[in-house]
């Protein structure tokens, strides 16, 4: 057996080599692609890729927030995110609709209330929280905490947002519904806009939030 090995070894190798060759020959026809055609296809795909890159990466990020709530606590998240995003150089729109409109209302924005009822963070039972005046108490408590903590007021955040180029928009339909006039709103707020304006910006935005 040991004497067979040297003979059969090379023979096997030769067979293996032969197999490999024939396999290669079988594949060859399939690989017969016109190099010019391949080059053209590569160029075509590269062009498409750069077009997609140009369309998606214009270097500037953008964000659209739809602000729908008008309670004191819910005025903060949209304004904080908007002013911070503006600091990043993003193109930011906050579209205020329904109760969110009160954040932009010069008078009402100063009187936004924190709801004591159904608020698990309030240290009082709902039956007590439902008593008249409890929302004012809860709001006063929160405002004091905010002052002590060095957190900005809603008014400061509105001014800051407008100063940093955030586009604060007031839904015209809700304006009409609530009977608000443009002059009731903070200076610099965009009026005469609707859902289509918001959607158009949302479609182009990297970040879209409903708050």
Contact positions vs another protein (CB under 8 A): 59, 80, 83-84, 86-89, 149-152, 157, 160, 163-164
Which CB, 153 or 172, lies closer to another protein? 153
CB of 165 to another protein, least distance (A): 10
CB of 89 to another protein, least distance (A): 6
Rounded-to-integer distance, Cα 69 and Cα 91, Å = 22
CB of 208 to another protein, least distance (A): 18
CB of 61 to another protein, least distance (A): 8
- Look-up of token digits 């947002």: 161
Rounded-to-integer distance, Cα 199 and Cα 54, Å = 22
- Using CA atoms, how far residue 202 sits from 53, 91, 92, 93, in Å, is 19, 11, 10, 9
Which CB, 70 or 78, lies closer to another protein? 78
CB of 161 to another protein, least distance (A): 9
SS3 31: helix
CB of 59 to another protein, least distance (A): 8
Which CB, 82 or 193, lies closer to another protein? 82
When computed from its CA atoms, the radius of gyration of the chain, rounded to whole angstroms, is 33
User: How would you label 124-147 residue by residue, b for 16+ Cβ within 10 Å and e otherwise?
Assistant: eeeeebeeeebbeebbeebbeeee
Rounded-to-integer distance, Cα 153 and Cα 3, Å = 96
Measured in whole angstroms, the distance separating CA 182 from the mean position of its chain's CA atoms is 28
Which CB, 81 or 171, lies closer to another protein? 81
Which CB, 80 or 142, lies closer to another protein? 80
Structure tokens at 165: 């180029």
What are the residues facing 207 on neighbouring strands?
A: 63
Which CB, 76 or 180, lies closer to another protein? 76
């Amino acid at each position: 057996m040991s004497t067979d090995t040297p003979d059969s070894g090379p023979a096997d190798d030769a067979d293996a080599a032969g197999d490999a060759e024939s396999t290669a020959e079988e594949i060859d026809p399939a690989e017969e692609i016109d190099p010019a055609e391949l080059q053209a296809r590569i160029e075509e795909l590269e062009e498409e890729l750069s077009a997609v890159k140009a369309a998606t990466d214009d270097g500037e990020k953008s964000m659209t927030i739809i602000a729908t709530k008008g309670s004191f606590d819910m005025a903060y998240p949209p304004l904080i995110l908007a002013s911070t995003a503006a600091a990043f150089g993003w193109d930011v729109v906050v579209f205020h609709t329904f109760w969110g409109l009160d954040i932009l209302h010069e008078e009402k924005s100063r009187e936004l209330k924190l709801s004591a009822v159904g608020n698990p963070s309030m240290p009082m039972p709902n039956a007590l929280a439902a008593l008249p005046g409890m929302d004012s108490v809860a709001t006063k408590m929160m405002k004091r905490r905010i002052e002590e903590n060095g957190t900005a007021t809603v008014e400061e955040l509105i001014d800051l947002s407008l100063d940093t180029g955030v586009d604060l928009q007031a839904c015209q339909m809700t304006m009409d519904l609530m009977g608000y006039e443009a002059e009731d709103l903070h200076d610099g707020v965009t009026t005469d806009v609707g859902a289509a304006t918001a959607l158009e910006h949302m479609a182009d935005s990297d970040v879209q939030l409903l708050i």
